[in-house]
Amino acid sequence: MNELLRWLLFLPPQGSAMAREVDGLHYFVILVTMGGALLVTAVGGYFLVRYRRSVGSEPPRAEAASVPAPWFEYSTIATLFLLFVAWWWIGARQFNQLRVAPEGAMDIYVTGQQWMWKFGYPEGPSSISVLYVPARRPVRLVMTSRDVIHSFFIPEFRVKADVLPGRYTTLWFEAEAPGSYSIFCTEYCGTQHSTMRGEVIALEPEDYARWLDGQAMPAPGAPAGATGGGLAAAARHGCLRCHTTDGTPHLGPTWAGLYGSLVPLDGGGEVVADEAYLTESMMDPRARLHRGYAPIMPSFLGVTEPADVAAIVELIRDLRDAAPAPAAPEVTR
């Protein structure tokens, strides 16, 4: 039922428990109003036919009779009022839940700026456009703007809040499962407003801890002095936070021995990891996902310069004999 209504109303998947509650109220209001509209239409249509003027019919004579108390009207008004109170009560409860983060929520600082989102983590690291969070843990965003009014929206969590210069607004969510969720700016903020997007990457708590560790230290498994340009580009774009170059399993497939190998695909089939597949995986990571890995990699389309893409592919090619590609680790979602 939930899935059917979600599909009928063109709603994105529900990535948090709050999303299901918000949708629940949405369905309730929609179903009752649609039902009411159908009822009125049906009764109107019936009256139209039943009391139509037909040939030879006499208008009924007006008779003075005692008018019964209008119980039907009273009960209709009472029902509508009760529905209004019920919606208001559910809505007010949800509003409070959405406004007030639960105890122990993790704070992340968000700065909106024409035309990007920047994230600062309590442990020190920062990221641009990609927000890393642990799954199944409440996260509170403390947000402000450096210039004009923006608005922070994660459709799959059904949370949205304006981001204002000189003021802090908050918003919280709890991702139910690891995965990647879109961020949009929903306040027109200048000519590049439509490009002000981002991604929430929800990781398993231990993967998140590993990501935090990787932020402070040199990338895991980076061999000293290997293929210069590609390694520098990979480090600059954050590839090495998830991919290793020495065969160690990490958040993404290791690059050691990857080139030219047969990659098992999520949903069946396999593909040879050649230049085309490697490039596609950078630009559209979910097009053909390596089986056993969560779909958490953001797209680097328009982010990574062509020269860097080439250097990274070159690096992966150089690593073809580094080690046999180990099997994918256990599925993390």
**Residues at the interface with ligand CUA (CB under 6 A):** 112, 115, 150, 185, 187-189, 193, 196
d(CA 228, CA 315): 8
Residue with tokens 């059917």: 4
**Least spacing, CB of residue 150 vs ligand CUA, in Å:** 3
Q: Which is nearer to ligand CUA, 145 or 281 (CB)?
A: 145
**Least spacing, CB of residue 162 vs ligand CUA, in Å:** 10
**Least spacing, CB of residue 139 vs ligand CUA, in Å:** 21
Nearest to 293 by CA among 256, 321, 254: 254
Q: Which is nearer to ligand CUA, 133 or 196 (CB)?
A: 196
Q: Which is nearer to ligand CUA, 129 or 215 (CB)?
A: 129
**Least spacing, CB of residue 187 vs ligand CUA, in Å:** 5
List Cβ neighbours of 3 (8 Å cut-off, separation of 6 or more).
Answer: none
**Least spacing, CB of residue 174 vs ligand CUA, in Å:** 25
Q: Which is nearer to ligand CUA, 152 or 255 (CB)?
A: 152
Q: Which is nearer to ligand CUA, 142 or 310 (CB)?
A: 142
3-class SS string, 142-183: EEEECCCCEEEEEHHHCEEEEECECCCEEEEECCCCCEEEEE
Per DSSP, the residues of 31-91 read HHHHHHHHHHHHHHHHHHHHT---TTPPPPPP---PPPP-HHHHHHHHHHHHHHHHHHHHH
Q: Which is nearer to ligand CUA, 87 or 115 (CB)?
A: 115
**Least spacing, CB of residue 181 vs ligand CUA, in Å:** 18
Partners of 154 in the β-ladder: 159
| CB atoms inside a 10 Å sphere around CB 77 | 11
Length of the chain counted residue by residue: 333
**Amino acid at the residue 48:** L
Q: Which is nearer to ligand CUA, 112 or 214 (CB)?
A: 112
**Least spacing, CB of residue 158 vs ligand CUA, in Å:** 19
